[in-house]
Structure 1
Amino acid sequence: MRALVLDQKSSFGISISEVNLPALAPGEVRVKVKSAALNHRDEWCRQGKYPGIKDGIILGSDGAGIVEEIGEGVDEDWLGRAVIINPAHFWGDDQAVQSGDFQILGMPSNGTLAEYIHIEASRLVDKPSHMSFEEAAALPLAGVTAYRALFYHGNITAGKKVLISGFGGGVAQFACQFALAVGADVYVTSSSAAKLEKAVDLGAKGGFNYRAENWVEEALVRSDGFDIIIDSAMGAGVNDLLKLLSPAGKLIFYGATLGNPEAIDARRIFWNQLTLQGTTMGSDIDFSNMIDFVSLHHIIPIIDQVTDLNGAEEAFLKMNKGEQMGKLVLNLD
């Protein structure tokens, strides 16, 4: 079968290769991958910046397809079903935090950017009926990350004021859609006027260009402070975000693409009773709740581009430059 594998010997860091999968193990199924989506972790693997990377591993954490074959011990009812793959492995029994064995599909284990995948049946859920395979493939990793940030950590409810930074990326996109679905007052940041306009079209009350000199002051005037901020950048900008939190507010971050802050305004944190909460991916409970939520509210992922394996390099370059508005999807059918 054709698959997109990590190949650090190639000039681009990935290559399309013919790969033979082993026989199905007990508890596994063979899924014909219809569509898969890219995430930033795939790009970090391509650049050699992800821990434990290994050449020849099939990349990709997001995928949707049809179960074509089952292994020993798997219920025959799975045969022929349209499914989404849960990319979280070995979360463990503690809902509060992942276990030390936690892994994400696509590195170090073979992922979804291939014509087929062998995966434990426990990692499958039925594809929401209102979504196409392309839309369903865009959902898993970013969707569960956004859901856990907002609902498990943020306890979001109608009327809360939420700021989502970096609108345009997958997690930020879903965080915006989920927050709007529960009736929150949503604002976003981006350096792109087009992305800010898209957020407003979706229902956001406003957006701020974080490259503008006075954006923090403008955001305070327009919002009077936020109950929840969802961020993936951290870095030096974290103190600006702390200024924007209302008393008892929460800054929930799922990444640190700008690195660690050199200094942090500890006095503001303790005096205003603020919470800085890290989060990553989500448990099986989070994933199941997220699927129920998007089905109930008929949420449709925003897709920037659909291509095939031959267009993978172009899609990676687009993500590297931050030009996408929504998810980048590859059809593998």
Structure 2
Amino acid sequence: MKAVVHVGKLGFDGLTYRDMEMPQPKAGEVRIKLKTTGLNHRDLFVLNRHTPTEPPLIIGSDGAGIIDSIGEGVSNVQVGDEVMINPGLGWKETSDAPPPGFEIVGHPFHGTFAEYVVIPAENVIEKPQYLTWEEAGVLSLAALTAYRVLFTRGRIQPNMKVLIPGIGSGVATFLLQFAKAVGATVIVTSRSQDKCAKALELGADKAIDSNEDWNQALCGEKMDLVIECVGAATFNKSLDQLRTGGTIVTFGASAGDVMQLNLRQFFYGQFNLLGSTMGSAEEYKEMIKFIETHNIKPVIDSMYTLDQFSQAFHRMETATQLGKIGFTIS
């Protein structure tokens, strides 16, 4: 089968489109003939985590397709089922943090940028009929991350004021859609006027330029909840927008680590700082039910074929996308 494989070199130079052996499902596993798959920031990070001395690795975490083979003991699905993949391995019930041994499809195990993938049967779920294959294939990792951030960690409630700096990523667009679905007021930021305009079309109540004075732009209005994934470039500006006793949840640091934090401001403000990453299988099922109830679909930026992987990675690396980047697999 054809696949996007990382081997031999760190970073993007190690990526290649090549033949790999067809995987066979073992007991408790299923094989999926993939129709679509989604690109995530995690895939960029894996290029530097997977070392040149390790065996070739098929990367990619998201995917949707049709089950074409099942292993011994599998009874929850059957050949021909249309399914989506929950990329979180080994995290069943919702808990304060992932259990020991938790991993994500695509590293250290083979992922979804291929014609076929083998995963545990417990990690597949029926594809919602209202989603297209393109939508289903790019959804899982970003939507699950956004769901845990907002509901489990941030405990979002109707009428909350929510700030999402750096609108543009798949997770950020889900955060916007989910927060609006529960009746929150949502403010986003971006350096791009086009992204600000698109966010307003998606339901944002206000979109401000990341480079301007946020205090002035928000007229001193403070937030109940701030969702941070940018890091050094925005974290302290985000903190300035939080009301006394408010909560900031962080799940990423694409602009690097925060080197300075005003502790006096933090403890006098009675702020709550929470970390989050991915989510459990229980949260995944809750998220699917939530998007079905509210008819939420991923915002798709662009779709490529697997052999166009370099164009897709470049678009994500330069942060020019708004929403999800995906691959169609013939």
Q: State the TM-score, normalizing by the size of structure 2.
A: 0.95
More deviation, 134-143/52-61? 52-61
Q: Secondary structure at the match of 1:240?
A: helix
Distance 1:258 1:235 in 2: 6
How far does residue 51 in structure 1 lie from its aligned partner after superposition?
A: 8.0
1:217 aligns to 2:215 (yes or no): yes
1:24 aligns to 2:22 (yes or no): no
Quote the RMSD (CA, aligned, Å): 1.8
Give 2:116's aligned residue: 116
With over 3 angstroms needed to count, the CA separation of the structure-2 counterparts of 1:156 and 1:201, relative to structure 1, is same
Write out per-residue CA displacement over residues 181-224 of structure 1, whole angstroms, 9 at most, x where no aligned residue. Answer: 11110110111100000010111111111123x2x2234316x1
Distance 1:3 1:90 in 2: 25
Residue identity matched to 2:173: Q
Distance 1:92 1:296 in 2: 23
1:241 aligns to 2:235 (yes or no): no
Residue identity matched to 1:331: T
Q: Secondary structure at the match of 2:167?
A: coil
Distance 1:331 1:17 in 2: 16
How far does residue 52 in structure 1 lie from its aligned partner after superposition?
A: 10
Equivalent residue runs for 1:85-104 within 5 Å: 85-91=85-91, 95-104=95-104
With over 3 angstroms needed to count, the CA separation of the structure-2 counterparts of 1:291 and 1:92, relative to structure 1, is closer
Give 2:292's aligned residue: 295
Equivalent residue runs for 1:124-135 within 5 Å: 124-135=124-135
Question: Is the CA contact (8 Å cut-off) linking 2:93 and 2:282 kept in structure 1?
Answer: no
Distance 2:201 2:180 in 1: 12
Residue identity matched to 2:5: V
Question: Structure 1: which 5+ runs fail to align?
Answer: none
Give 1:39's aligned residue: 40
1:306 aligns to 2:292 (yes or no): no
Residue identity matched to 1:2: K
Question: Structure 2: which 5+ runs fail to align?
Answer: none
How far does residue 100 in structure 1 lie from its aligned partner after superposition?
A: 2.5
Identity percentage over the alignment? 39
How far does residue 154 in structure 1 lie from its aligned partner after superposition?
A: 1.1
1:78 aligns to 2:78 (yes or no): yes
With over 3 angstroms needed to count, the CA separation of the structure-2 counterparts of 1:53 and 1:319, relative to structure 1, is farther
**Aligned residues, how many?**
329
Distance 1:50 1:153 in 2: 30
More deviation, 87-96/110-119? 87-96
Distance 1:183 1:264 in 2: 32
Question: Is the CA contact (8 Å cut-off) linking 2:92 and 2:282 kept in structure 1?
Answer: no
1:257 aligns to 2:258 (yes or no): no
Distance 1:170 1:219 in 2: 25
With over 3 angstroms needed to count, the CA separation of the structure-2 counterparts of 1:144 and 1:324, relative to structure 1, is same
Q: State the TM-score, normalizing by the size of structure 1.
A: 0.94
Distance 2:109 2:153 in 1: 28
Distance 1:54 1:60 in 2: 17
Question: Is the CA contact (8 Å cut-off) linking 1:41 and 1:50 kept in structure 2?
Answer: no
Distance 1:158 1:241 in 2: 21
Give 1:199's aligned residue: 199
How far does residue 258 in structure 1 lie from its aligned partner after superposition?
A: 2.4
Give 2:279's aligned residue: 282
